[in-house]
Amino acid sequence: MQQTFRLVIDCPDQIGLVASVSQFLADHNATIVEANHHTDLQTGRFFMRHEISTDSLKLDHKSFVEEFTPLANEYQMNWKLSDSNKKQRVALLASLESHCLVDLLHRWHTGELHCDIPVIIGNHPQMKQFADWYKVPFHWVDFKALGKEAAFAQITTLLQEYKIDLTVLARFMQILPDTLCQELQGKAINIHHSFLPSFAGAKPYQQAYDRGVKLIGATCHYVTKDLDEGPIIEQSVKRISHSDSAADMVRKGKDCEVTALAHGVRYHLEDRVIIHRNKTVVFA
Amino acid sequence: MQQTFRLVIDCPDQIGLVASVSQFLADHNATIVEANHHTDLQTGRFFMRHEISTDSLKLDHKSFVEEFTPLANEYQMNWKLSDSNKKQRVALLASLESHCLVDLLHRWHTGELHCDIPVIIGNHPQMKQFADWYKVPFHWVDFKALGKEAAFAQITTLLQEYKIDLTVLARFMQILPDTLCQELQGKAINIHHSFLPSFAGAKPYQQAYDRGVKLIGATCHYVTKDLDEGPIIEQSVKRISHSDSAADMVRKGKDCEVTALAHGVRYHLEDRVIIHRNKTVVFA
Amino acid sequence: MQQTFRLVIDCPDQIGLVASVSQFLADHNATIVEANHHTDLQTGRFFMRHEISTDSLKLDHKSFVEEFTPLANEYQMNWKLSDSNKKQRVALLASLESHCLVDLLHRWHTGELHCDIPVIIGNHPQMKQFADWYKVPFHWVDFKALGKEAAFAQITTLLQEYKIDLTVLARFMQILPDTLCQELQGKAINIHHSFLPSFAGAKPYQQAYDRGVKLIGATCHYVTKDLDEGPIIEQSVKRISHSDSAADMVRKGKDCEVTALAHGVRYHLEDRVIIHRNKTVVFA
Amino acid sequence: MQQTFRLVIDCPDQIGLVASVSQFLADHNATIVEANHHTDLQTGRFFMRHEISTDSLKLDHKSFVEEFTPLANEYQMNWKLSDSNKKQRVALLASLESHCLVDLLHRWHTGELHCDIPVIIGNHPQMKQFADWYKVPFHWVDFKALGKEAAFAQITTLLQEYKIDLTVLARFMQILPDTLCQELQGKAINIHHSFLPSFAGAKPYQQAYDRGVKLIGATCHYVTKDLDEGPIIEQSVKRISHSDSAADMVRKGKDCEVTALAHGVRYHLEDRVIIHRNKTVVFA
């Protein structure tokens, strides 16, 4: 895999901005592999992602950051420069359902998800078998024995010890406390098993069955303290009919969950997502 | 178009039921063009639709009904026998947006929608031009001048005078009064411009834009007095992204609305929809 | 899981046929969980699938078959009565790509695919790791060392020894010899990584990339001696754009392959597919 | 509708290219409403589209072109600067099927398609009624009476007389002669009623029915002398099943045709399509 730097920017829109950034890149001989721009005309905010081949580039990561900083300050940028060779460290949190967990592990194993997965955490012990197969340390945090507060304290410690960059709730059926949501802001992704905002909260498939909808779905979103209200990264739907029982809907919905979560996590890992207020710009 | 009878039944499930109905049909030499069955295992209710060619059948409509009635009573059936040659009379109600209206008119004109359209009613005069093209009488009911109550009284009268079987709200932006909803139960279809139950109520596209969803949709449902809560017949979705403005979403959403409404109306006209509590069985 | 019998029939359409079958079922107190009918009006062929709860049924499998046979003969039926408790024995054949294999194994592991998987066969040794995880015997058939003829002879022997009912080619990159295709007729399922009949043959993603299509797909079909020409069970598509490289298309296509194959295999295992000439009736 | 200029460029990729273009735009105070970039890494070709608000811009169209030309030459650009206020002149060609024609006319009427439609040409007289409704001159070119050569000569003359920029074959069932294809290169759009390259040529729905596919589609592409081989702009698909007759597939396919053609035409009119060899870059 070719090494790239990803320069991701959001800032107030301004004439000359793109010219300045492009000139900077040209001055340092950057070959641009992929470039995306978006202007939010309502808020006047500008979003930009460049994927730059490091082959031709006359700057290493450190000097790029140093040289770019004055420009970034001038334009009041939120920005980062990530290095595709530096893998993010991802923790997977799961409960009893294995479909999302196993799918992410397999995509990671085959290299589709370019990251490290140093730890899997379960509030039940059952997912250990899959962790073992993929030789990832598994921690069972026993919510029943510990109580919710101590359990989450233990999870917080684990995330710190393993130096986790991204926490993925792969059908983790525990609601994170507000403080942890706050700490993990923009760094924790959840999969909700409905097409949000429809059927937020518990038992979305039963809700969908009761309402008699003709399509079901799943929503991949950033975790915020307002449950199921975080910025949406990806959604997926499937057609159903009267002949689908609530159990059929669960089965079909799983395929939506797997796909939406896998996409969302990949977009995040490739720095394709920019959060703006309660929405996302996704340069897919 | 070949003439058919459509025998549509719902009743408590019972062993021997299908045998009895099938034997009745065989005894009268019925060739079955299409047959659909569904058992709702939760409620123990059985649903059945037969489309029967009249060519070989040794009964006319009247005698079929007479002969079938004892069987229907025995099994406590809700049932009807409709004749494909007897077109339903459909009223289209519209406001200022033409896309759904024009689409339905064109599908009717080309024979895809097998019905009569004896009247179009608008709460604004603008849709008259399209009514004129298709030579359908247009009535402008002036809500501003009349007030809501008198206006709906006038609409009710029109529906009666034109002997309307099905009322289609093709983006008709007025909320029907409860009494009219009651009268038109199971005989009025609405298109809501969101993927219900998400974004019920007013301005769904703005709501969707504000929430930052990644798919938008439309919902075709029966009108009930609980706004946007009626039994859903059909739903349709389209993918959107951050680069879609609220205006883009309106444009894309229209394609969803047109498709979902056209499908819903056709299913109803072909007696493919059975309402059960707040849900539908759709033998599509 | 509730035990059911699945009565699957295809025969010339005839008045009285459904009545006779339904009466037979009623006479033996059969509760019908799901019933599907289809008449092919072009060929006058009738297709029928009943899923019958064994709870109330007054026949065991053997006596059902005996009692039903005269009726079946009278109507010249192709038919079978399968028992949901008697799991089909499925062999998975794979090469170097793991996505379809791992997905099927996981669905089997969680009970979504109700079957036995007694053996996995690879023409390369790499898939052994996944077989080991799921504790399924793995046989590496070394095509290079053995030559094609001997290799397929070995595979044929394995399928016989393991008493295989269904052979699934989960991205198995070897073309089966005609004689084996003949033997496995209706009992071998392949996944082709294109939306057939587009891009049959080798390197479909490269073909798709070169042609500049805007959607790619996958096709699950029965194996026949005419490569990529067998009856189609299921197809799946995904949208792509100019920004997708051939490698991106491979990645996106894999999700199509996984879904289409999983559906196709499940339909087959649940006796939902009837092959008619070169097409399928799928009671999904 | 806000006036914009659309600067559309394709040229060999080169470091400094984006910087130069962006600097030019900044120097003339251009506010960029939408910007898209794409590098084809296989061919080293770069594609770029800027939509520029004319409000702040300190150049009119003529002086923009003059000032930009040296830069364009330096980078060997294919380029154009189009003015959103200058509507393209579109000719619609149709035969006996009205669905695509009527859909385009309605989208034009409501302003979704921003163009002029000065003429509709039919090889049969039946579409005149729709032309009349929308007050567009209709020319019946009688292929039977004239013979194919004279008929196409007449069409060519009409396209010239009406100063047509874009010719849309809205289910026009005559194959254009090679010379006309050549003349209209990149300026004529066709809708083919299959998911190309599947089922090219005549009767695609019958072909699809015979093959037993599970999805049907439509393809919007530029006309080239190799029939159904031109650069694809947009494709659309719908799920079908064994229960769909060839007639049902025609009906469902029409919805695909309408959508794919409407999208393709809009993309073209908004200068979102760049043809590169036999493929398109579509900045949708």
How confident is the model over A170-199, as pLDDT tens digits? Answer: 999 999 999 999 999 999 999 999 999 999
Please determine, for residue B192, whether its predicted confidence score (pLDDT) is greater than 90.
yes
Cα C91 to Cα D55: distance, rounded to the nearest angstrom: 67
With an 8 Å Cβ cutoff, are D23 and A19 in contact?
yes
Cα C204 to Cα A1: distance, rounded to the nearest angstrom: 23
- The CA distances from residue D270 to D224, D265, D267, in Å, are 21, 9, 5
Q: Which of A41, A199, A242 lies nearest to residue B281, judging by beta carbons?
A: A242
Q: What is the dihedral of CA A201, A203, A209, A214, to 10 degrees?
A: 50
Residue C105 — φ and ψ, nearest 5°?
Answer: -60, -40
Residue D61 distance to chain C (closest CA, Å): 30
Residues in chain C within 8 Å Cβ distance of B32 = 18, 37, 39
Cα D173 to Cα B47: distance, rounded to the nearest angstrom: 44
Q: Return the partners of chain D (3 or more C-beta pairs < 8 Å).
A: A, B, C
Q: Which residues of A touch C (CB under 8 A)?
A: 34, 98-99, 102, 106, 110, 112, 133, 243, 251, 255, 259
Q: C78-83 and C4-12: which strand pairing?
A: antiparallel
Give A202's pLDDT tier (boundaries 50, 70, 90). Answer: confident
Would you state the pLDDT for residue A68?
98
For residue B12, the tally of other CB atoms under 10 A from its CB is 12
Residues in chain D within 8 Å Cβ distance of C42 = 245
Q: Which of C22, C29, C30 lies nearest to residue B22, judging by beta carbons?
A: C22
With an 8 Å Cβ cutoff, are A235 and B213 in contact?
yes
Q: Return the partners of chain B (3 or more C-beta pairs < 8 Å).
A: A, C, D
Residue C209 distance to chain A (closest CA, Å): 18
The residues near A106 (Cβ < 8 Å, ≥ 6 apart) are C98, C99, C102
In a 3-state reduction of DSSP, which class is residue B62?
helix
The hierarchical CATH code for the domain B4-83 is 3.30.70.260
Q: Catalytic one among D27, D55, D132, D228?
A: D228
Cα C271 to Cα C273: distance, rounded to the nearest angstrom: 6
Cα B219 to Cα A214: distance, rounded to the nearest angstrom: 9
For residue A34, the tally of other CB atoms under 10 A from its CB is 19
Q: What is the pLDDT along chain D (284 residues), one digit of tens a residue?
A: 789 999 999 999 999 999 999 999 999 999 999 999 999 999 999 999 999 999 989 999 999 999 999 999 999 999 999 999 999 999 999 999 999 999 999 999 999 999 999 999 999 999 999 999 999 999 999 999 999 999 999 999 999 999 999 999 999 999 999 999 999 999 999 999 999 999 988 899 999 999 999 999 999 999 999 888 999 999 999 999 999 998 999 999 999 999 999 999 999 999 999 999 999 999 99
Please list the residues that pair with D218 across neighbouring strands.
Answer: D236
Amino acid at position A4, single letter:
T
Please determine, for residue A233, whether its predicted confidence score (pLDDT) is greater than 90.
yes
The residues near C143 (Cβ < 8 Å, ≥ 6 apart) are C123, C151, C174
Would you state the pLDDT for residue D217?
95
Q: Which of B197, B217, B243 lies nearest to residue A211, judging by beta carbons?
A: B197
**Angle at the Cα of B238 (from B284 to B130), degrees rounded to 5?**
75
Count of H-run helices and E-run strands, chain B: 9, 13
With an 8 Å Cβ cutoff, are C212 and D199 in contact?
no
Cα A269 to Cα A6: distance, rounded to the nearest angstrom: 11
- The CA distances from residue B35 to B6, B21, B40, B198, C38, in Å, are 10, 12, 17, 34, 7
Mutate to test the interface with D, among C36, C214, C241, C275 (most CBs of D within 10 A): C214
CA nearest to D48 within chain A: A35
In A114-186, the DSSP E strands lie at 116-122, 138-140, 166-169
Is the Cα dihedral B59, B60, B63, B67 positive or negative? positive
Residue with tokens 């009895």: B20
Q: Which residues of B touch D (CB under 8 A)?
A: 34, 98-99, 102, 106, 110, 112, 133, 243, 251, 255, 259
CA nearest to A23 within chain D: D19
CB B34 within 8 A of CB B73: no
Cα C166 to Cα C115: distance, rounded to the nearest angstrom: 10
Residue A97 distance to chain B (closest CA, Å): 25
The residues near A101 (Cβ < 8 Å, ≥ 6 apart) are A92, A94, A120, A127, A130, A170, A171
Q: Which of A102, A133, A251 lies nearest to residue C112, judging by beta carbons?
A: A251
Cα B135 to Cα B130: distance, rounded to the nearest angstrom: 8
With an 8 Å Cβ cutoff, are A26 and D36 in contact?
no
Give A1's pLDDT tier (boundaries 50, 70, 90). Answer: confident
Fold of A89-282: Rossmann fold (3.40.50)
Amino acid at position D67, single letter:
E
| Residues A25-43, mean pLDDT to the nearest whole number | 95
Please determine, for residue B67, whether its predicted confidence score (pLDDT) is greater than 90.
yes
Q: What is the dihedral of CA C82, C84, C85, C91, to 10 degrees?
A: 80
Q: Which residues of B does the annotation mark as catalytic?
A: 228
CA nearest to D263 within chain B: B252
Q: How far apart are the first and last CA of chain B?
A: 19
Please list the residues that pair with A8 across neighbouring strands.
Answer: A49, A80
CB pairs under 8 A between B and D: 18
Q: Which of B212, B217, B235 lies nearest to residue A232, judging by beta carbons?
A: B212
| Residues B34-57, mean pLDDT to the nearest whole number | 95
CA nearest to A37 within chain D: D35
Residues in chain C within 8 Å Cβ distance of A34 = 243
DSSP B43: T
Summarize chain B as % helix, strand, coil (round to 5). 35, 30, 35
Residue D132 — φ and ψ, nearest 5°?
Answer: -60, -45
CB A165 within 8 A of CB A188: no
CA nearest to C50 within chain B: B37
CB D89 within 8 A of CB D114: no
Residues in chain C within 8 Å Cβ distance of D245 = 41-42
Among residues A212, A193, A207, the alpha carbon closest in space to that of A253 is found at: A193
Q: Which residues of C does the annotation mark as catalytic?
A: 228
Q: Catalytic one among A103, A228, A244, A271?
A: A228
Instruction: Give domain limits for chain B.
Output: 4-83, 89-282
Mutate to test the interface with C, among A258, A270, A283 (most CBs of C within 10 A): A258
With an 8 Å Cβ cutoff, are B37 and C33 in contact?
no
Q: Return the partners of chain A (3 or more C-beta pairs < 8 Å).
A: B, C, D
Would you state the pLDDT for residue B201?
86
Cα D212 to Cα D242: distance, rounded to the nearest angstrom: 8
**Angle at the Cα of B217 (from B213 to B221), degrees rounded to 5?**
135
CB B198 within 8 A of CB B180: no
- The CA distances from residue D181 to A172, D172, D279, in Å, are 59, 14, 17
Cα D235 to Cα D253: distance, rounded to the nearest angstrom: 12
Residues in chain A within 8 Å Cβ distance of D41 = 33
In a 3-state reduction of DSSP, which class is residue C149?
helix
CA nearest to D247 within chain B: B112
Residues in chain D within 8 Å Cβ distance of A41 = 33
Residues in chain D within 8 Å Cβ distance of B34 = 243
Residue A99 — φ and ψ, nearest 5°?
Answer: -60, -45
Residues in chain D within 8 Å Cβ distance of C233 = 214
Q: Which residues of A touch D (CB under 8 A)?
A: 15-16, 18-19, 22-23, 25-26, 29-37, 39, 41, 56, 239
Gyration radius of chain C's alpha carbons: 20
Would you state the pLDDT for residue D12?
98
Residue A169 distance to chain C (closest CA, Å): 20
| Residues A209-218, mean pLDDT to the nearest whole number | 95
For residue D17, the tally of other CB atoms under 10 A from its CB is 23
Q: Which of B106, B133, B251 lies nearest to residue D112, judging by beta carbons?
A: B251
- Kindly give the residue spans of alpha helices, DSSP state H, lying in chain D: 17-27, 61-74, 99-109, 128-133, 143-146, 148-161, 178-183, 204-211, 246-269
**Angle at the Cα of B202 (from B244 to B143), degrees rounded to 5?**
125
Residues in chain C within 8 Å Cβ distance of A255 = 259
Among residues C284, C139, C132, C156, the alpha carbon closest in space to that of C220 is found at: C284
Q: Which residues of D touch B (CB under 8 A)?
A: 34, 98-99, 102, 106, 110, 112, 133, 243, 251, 255, 259
**Angle at the Cα of A186 (from C250 to C242), degrees rounded to 5?**
30
Sheet harboring B78-83: ordered strands across?
B78-83, B4-12, B45-53, B31-40, C31-40, C45-53, C4-12, C78-83
Which residues in chain C come in under a pLDDT of 50?
Answer: none
CB C47 within 8 A of CB C9: yes
Q: Which two tokens stand for residue A159?
A: 């995330």
Among residues C172, C194, C204, the alpha carbon closest in space to that of C98 is found at: C172
Q: Which of D198, D212, D284 lies nearest to residue C195, judging by beta carbons?
A: D198
